[in-house]
Amino acid sequence: MVEQIIWLVAAIMVIVTVTVHYEVMTVVSDRIVPWAQRHVHSRRVIAFAIAGLLLGHISEIWIFAIVTKLLLLFPSFGAVHGDFTNQWEDYLYLSAVNYTSIGDNNIRIVGPARALAASEALAGIMMIAWSASFTYLKMEVIWERRRGQSRGDTEHATYVAHDRRKNP
């Protein structure tokens, strides 16, 4: 029964992570990038987008850390062995190394909670890849717009940006 609960929590966490990430990318795309394009030099626009995405990743790491800490309050769900003092910073660190798939040989989760850690690693690496492709697409639109403006071809740049939104 404990294993089923952990897998259910892991599935819910993956759904929450994807939802949070989608919403962050929507805000970055619809609010932050257009604002930055109006107020800062074009080379800095992507820095604003990346900062927004990083805040999204950090919030996802925090959510996983909170859920891991809550689950591990119950010994039947597992424990953390190794260089771990059960402080909040340890949970954040554990979540960050799981989310980024870096791992740490000095800390390991034992018991059913390993399913949550594995799910966090899979979700994290997918969110990182999603952010990378999103950033590339945004950079491509920004660069194409800048190329059009340098040629004085604002109609072309507007068309390209509008066309990319309709056909991602």
pLDDT (tens digit, 9 = 90+) per residue, 17-74? 999 999 999 999 999 999 998 998 777 889 999 999 999 999 999 999 999 999 999 9
The answer to whether 39 and 52 are in contact (CB under 8 A) is: no
> What value does the mean pLDDT take over residues 87-101?
95
- Going 60 to 64 to 69 to 70, the CA torsion angle's sign is positive
Q: What is the pLDDT of residue 79?
A: 95
Q: What's the rounded mean pLDDT across residues 135-152?
A: 80
State pTM to two decimals. Answer: 0.84
